[in-house]
Structure 1
Amino acid sequence: MKRILILGCGWLAEEFAHLQLKNMNQVWATTTTEEKYHRLKNDGIFAYVHNFDGAINKASNTIESNPENILAESLKNFGPFDLILTSIPATNRNTVEELQIRFSNVYSLLSRLEFEQHIFLSSVGIYPDMDGFFDESNHQTTHLNPKLLMAEEAMLKLPNTHVFRLGGLFGKQRIFAKYFEDRIVQTGDQPANFIHLEDVCGVLDQALHKGLKETIYNLVTPEHPLKKEVILASAEKYGYKKPLGFQPENSFQKIVSGNKIAQELNYGFKYPSPLYF
């Protein structure tokens, strides 16, 4: 039986949690809402309500308290953990200051816990929107998204940590075509750098049992059809209206490779192309 801790049990992480319960593993998870806390608890997950953004004293520009210490003391009773999955986002909607506080608090908690492996979920949005082929060897930090890079670097200060840079995430109710009904699409000529929910959970499950050798991995389907092809296939499959038209204005050819982790884990994608989502 494996012990898994999830920080930030959102849409993807909740799916992974249920997979691990099905596999007879134990799961602990944090969420920011009471509603999800009760749902997770009813599903057999040891849940906590916890917000890593902290409370800022605007006069002194300091965090009022450190609730991560309290949470760490509780979680220590159940460790060491076989895997800690951090699924807490670093979005462009947040300021640099907000993200510094958020990931400082995550680090504060994790530095107090024992674990075999830690995976932080990041995004291929860290790579610039420009023509090019991007794999994990692209280390020119001046071209990388500074907010995502800051979050990754904060997490990589922890031992036994790996970063998964996820492509655009779809599956279940997240259907690409529904976002473009009756709209003019300007990004249709871009290659799709997507990944299906089930494949992310599959890779995470294999990493849990096999371990990982490298530090940073892209999780993207092997095939990269154009986004307009994906929209049309998705609309046909699920019965959504097609876009009003395609007027490509942002057509840079950015392709992100996810070959490294597939080869290392010998992983066969359930959805090798977004056309099958």
Structure 2
Amino acid sequence: MRYLILGCGWVGQSVADKWLADGHEVWASTTSVEKYHCLQDSGIFAFQYDFDTNDLPVEEMPATFDFILVSIPATNRHSVEVLKTRFEHVHTFLARLHYQKLIFLSSVGIYPDISARIDEASLEEGDLNEKLRLAERSMQLLSNAYVFRLGGLFGKNRIFAKYFENRVCTTGAQRANFVHLDDVMALLELAFRNSLRQPIYNLVAPEHPLKRDVVIASALKNSMALPKSFQNDESFQKVVLGALLQDELNYTFKYPSPLDF
């Protein structure tokens, strides 16, 4: 199999290493010179590429891939204009290629901070984050393209408690809409190899404990300091449901609860 990863960051690197270990041919883009050399050294066909300024083909890159993973971010710190250009370039770049299936990694941050149980069809288009939806729509214009909205992502060296050591935690009364990296990787593997019936899926662990409890469990597990205090300044109860993809792929989560991350 031949894979392409656009935006080989934390998730992309983990996926690339797994696919490479399984004997597949992996191509990957990065904006970083250091990351480019790291990927090349590991056996990945890496290329340095900035989609904010470029949409030209890459010399010597194949025109045909089995599967494509797009993990290029649409972050709030960038303007709508910057993101529009970025994803127009991504779209133009990908439209030249032939492939079986494409998956774009988005975020459950697309949903507003409200007290509700939210699945993929719960909200109107106008209720969603404008910048993330812009990126999603651009990718959905491509053939055989699917959007995966990831929950807060943890695993390996990304530990929830680390962000609150000796600090004040103001979000402890919120529900955790998290997912473990190992589950994301397993679901991607299944999704690429099996038919998908819907255009958009949430990837979120099925259990939603309070973030306060996740912080405490994470700190104890990793011998980290607890927060100085918990202040429930932002206590809306948003619960993002990920059962659609789980049921469709008949998947059992390795980490069903963020308390066990």
TM-score range, shorter chain: over 0.9
**Separation in 2 of the partners of 1:244 and 1:232?**
12
Unaligned 5+ runs, structure 1: 55-66
**Separation in 1 of the partners of 2:40 and 2:195?**
28
**Separation in 1 of the partners of 2:246 and 2:69?**
19
CA contact 1:37–1:48 (8 Å) conserved in 2? yes
Aligned to 1:118, the other structure's residue is in SS state strand
Aligned to 2:36, the other structure's residue is in SS state helix
Residue 41 (structure 1) aligned with residue 54 (structure 2) = no
Moved more, 23-32 or 229-238: 23-32
Deviation (angstroms), 1:70: 2.8
Aligned partner of 1:5 in structure 2 is 4
**Separation in 1 of the partners of 2:15 and 2:189?**
8
Deviation (angstroms), 1:69: 2.5
CA contact 1:192–1:226 (8 Å) conserved in 2? yes
**Separation in 1 of the partners of 2:89 and 2:111?**
26
Aligned partner of 1:74 in structure 2 is 60
Aligned to 2:4, the other structure's residue is in SS state strand
Residue 230 (structure 1) aligned with residue 214 (structure 2) = yes
Could you tell me which of 217, 226, 229 is aligned with 2:201?
217
Give deviations 1:197-220, integer Å, cap 9, x for gaps.
111111111112223221000000
**Separation in 1 of the partners of 2:218 and 2:126?**
36
Residue 102 (structure 1) aligned with residue 86 (structure 2) = yes
Whichever residue aligns with residue 52 of structure 1, its letter is F
Aligned to 1:37, the other structure's residue is in SS state helix
**Separation in 2 of the partners of 1:265 and 1:234?**
29
Aligned to 2:60, the other structure's residue is in SS state helix
Identical pairs, percent: 53
How many residues align? The count is 261
TM-score w.r.t. structure 1 length?
Answer: 0.92
**Separation in 2 of the partners of 1:69 and 1:52?**
9
Aligned to 1:68, the other structure's residue is in SS state coil
CA contact 1:82–1:208 (8 Å) conserved in 2? no
Report 1:243-262 matches (<5 A).
243-262=227-246
Question: What CA RMSD, in Å, does the superposition of the two structures yield over aligned residues?
Answer: 1.0
Give deviations 1:102-159, integer Å, cap 9, x for gaps.
0010001011110110100000000000100110112401110000011101110101
CA contact 2:175–2:237 (8 Å) conserved in 1? yes
**Separation in 2 of the partners of 1:126 and 1:3?**
31
